[in-house]
Amino acid sequence: MTAAPPSLGARILARAAELARHSDMEGGLTCAFLTPAHARAQADLAAWMEDAGMTVRIDAIGNVIGRYAADPDEAAAQVLMTGSHFDTVRDGGRYDGRLGILLPIAVVGALRDAGIRLPYHLDVVAFAEEEGLRFKTSFLASSVLADRFDAALLDRVDADGVTMAAALAGAGFPGAGKPDALRAAAVDPATLAGFVEVHIEQGPVLLHRGLPLGIVTQIAGSSRFQVRIEGLASHAGTTPMDMRRDAAAGAAEMILLVEQRCGQVPSLVGTVGQLQVPNGSSNVIPAACTFSMDIRAGEDGIREAAIADIVAGIERIATRRGLTASVERVTPVNNAPCARWLMDQFGAVLRKRGMEVFELPSGAGHDAMMMQRITDVAMLFVRCGNGGISHNPLETITEEDAQQAAEVFVDFLRHFRPKPVEQ
Ligand code: GLV
Ligand code: MN
Ligand code: MN
């Protein structure tokens, strides 16, 4: 097979639409970890993998892992792993994560149809959780594979008070969510030749440069926090302004601090995406306010310096206003560089096809970050339409770009060579 069949782009888009029908919400796409919609998406993905010629298993955290077995003549075959996540943010897009599962499934189906076996096992992983929507802690699925899962997280509760342990126990995965089973689901790094992830860019860079594809250089480190501010509830009509301990007003000042501090360095970004006044009433001064805080930068030192300043600033604001603040760090993930030898193999494919080899960093987090803790990783970005918007239902790609990406992926797999031995 010199080229992939011309129908792959259309198939990928059709399946993204089909998968998006499984949603926790009406009129949009929300697929949170271990919901009924999540289970239906998982079942579709498993069926599509089988249909493409893979042997499929579900692991202890709910990852769907399809193996396209190596040519039987390859006695000591290693595993090249690829994949991405199928959970989504609330009212998200249908390609974030899912493109990196549907594209390899389509490609494997094409290889199988053409009778082509690879000299290594290709494992396609549909990661069950990356976004952190349900339990406010992300990378659960890849952290299990990378043996970085923190068993203390099993006690975390969702918005309805359901623990992660109970949700996993009820999901029917092997090991019923027990810590030992989660630990046993880790992959042996010695078996891996590397991890590659195809993902929609989720930004406007490729769009503005007129390029369908880009090769990722590194993935920016990120830290997420849950902040809780405590004040004093009192009457909105009778409490003078200078006698208030208003938790929401304090939080507002803290959010502006995040914006101001993160605006000082180009690669640094800070976001408060969730903000609540628990049990608030319109005529009661807020006794409590909770918010999430997400801080990222291309360099870990820049991120850590910003975090130190922001946490100190939160304490200062709280003290001045007579409030108390607790800042819980939930998911710190360090900057993850991509491996030059893998990037170069993608670059060689693009060059051979007469395409520009363009490299760019990723500001968004990806499963590849966690996998980078145990193996070399690379990422192929696909152009994002609609101005580059993502984490939004407007997120889109074209059929032509999906086709190009699939063709590049076929060539990459067919020419893949394990890491050269260092001299
Ligand atoms: C994942 O989508 C992230 O938050 O970057
Ligand atoms: Mn996302
Ligand atoms: Mn994603």
Q: Is 421 a domain residue?
A: no
The protein residue with its alpha carbon nearest to ligand 1, atom 1, reads 365
How many whole angstroms from 351 Cα to the centroid of ligand 3?
A: 27
For residues 323-329, give the mean pLDDT.
Answer: 97
How many whole angstroms from 207 Cα to the centroid of ligand 1?
A: 20
Q: Where are the alpha helices (DSSP H) in 188-299?
A: 205-209, 247-262
pLDDT of 184 above 90: yes
CATH of the domain at 304: 3.30.70.360
Q: For residue 332, name the pLDDT band (cuts at 50, 70, 90).
A: confident
pLDDT per residue over 339-362, tens digit each? 999 999 999 999 999 999 999 999
* 356 and 382 inside one domain: yes
288-297 and 269-271 beta bridge pairing = antiparallel
Mutate to test the pocket of ligand 1, among 33, 303, 391 (most ligand atoms within 8 A of CB): 391
What's the CA gap between 363 and 391, in Å, rounded? Answer: 13
Pocket of ligand 1 (CB under 6 A): 131, 364-365
Give 147-171 as a DSSP string. Answer: T---GGGGG-B-TTS-BHHHHHHTT
Q: Please report the pLDDT score of residue 45 as a whole number.
A: 98
Q: How many CB atoms lie under 10 A from the CB of residue 308?
A: 10
DSSP at 387: G
Q: At what angle do helices 340-352 and 399-415 cross, to 10 degrees?
A: 120
What's the CA gap between 14 and 29, in Å, rounded? Answer: 15
Could you tell me which of 38, 47, 65 has the C-alpha nearest to residue 167? 38
How many whole angstroms from 106 Cα to the centroid of ligand 1?
A: 24
Q: Please report the pLDDT score of residue 422 as a whole number.
A: 73
Q: Where are the alpha helices (DSSP H) in 34-124?
A: 36-51, 99-113
CA 392 from centroid of its chain's CA atoms: 15
* 59 and 141 inside one domain: yes
The annotation status of 296 as a binding-site residue, yes or no, is yes
pLDDT per residue over 233-280, tens digit each? 999 999 999 999 999 999 999 999 999 999 999 989 999 999 999 999
Domain boundary pick from 309, 329, 349: 329
Q: Is 422 a domain residue?
A: no
* 401 and 290 inside one domain: no
pLDDT of 423 above 80: no
Residue 77 structure tokens:
């075959």
* 155 and 260 inside one domain: no
pLDDT of 75 above 80: no
Domain boundary pick from 329, 345, 365: 329
Residue-number span of the structural domain to which 232 is assigned: 221-329
How many whole angstroms from 295 Cα to the centroid of ligand 1?
A: 11
What's the CA gap between 132 and 57, in Å, rounded? Answer: 23
For residues 308-316, give the mean pLDDT.
Answer: 98
Could you tell me which of 172, 180, 84, 73 has the C-alpha nearest to residue 123? 84
The annotation status of 85 as a binding-site residue, yes or no, is yes
Q: Please report the pLDDT score of residue 77 as a whole number.
A: 85
Average pLDDT, the chain: 96
* 161 and 229 inside one domain: no
Q: Is 2 a domain residue?
A: no
* 205 and 349 inside one domain: yes
The annotation status of 18 as a binding-site residue, yes or no, is no
Q: Please report the pLDDT score of residue 152 as a whole number.
A: 95
pLDDT of 1 above 60: no
pLDDT of 78 above 60: yes
CATH of the domain at 112: 3.40.630.10
Closest atom of ligand 1 to CA, residue 296? 5
pLDDT of 385 above 80: yes
Q: Is 243 a domain residue?
A: yes
For residues 130-151, give the mean pLDDT.
Answer: 95
| Number of domains the chain contains | 2
The protein residue with its alpha carbon nearest to ligand 1, atom 3, reads 365
* 91 and 156 inside one domain: yes
For residues 170-178, give the mean pLDDT.
Answer: 93
* 156 and 72 inside one domain: yes
pLDDT of 3 above 80: no
For residues 30-54, give the mean pLDDT.
Answer: 98
Lowest model confidence (mean pLDDT) among 69-83, 136-150, 405-419: 69-83
Could you tell me which of 202, 218, 176 has the C-alpha nearest to residue 88? 202
Residue 214: φ, ψ to 5°: -145, 160
The annotation status of 96 as a binding-site residue, yes or no, is yes
How many whole angstroms from 331 Cα to the centroid of ligand 3?
A: 16
The annotation status of 366 as a binding-site residue, yes or no, is no
* 397 and 300 inside one domain: no
Q: For residue 420, name the pLDDT band (cuts at 50, 70, 90).
A: confident
Closest atom of ligand 1 to CA, residue 364? 5
Q: For residue 73, name the pLDDT band (cuts at 50, 70, 90).
A: confident
* 225 and 205 inside one domain: no
Q: Quick one: what percent of the chain has pLDDT higher than 90?
A: 94
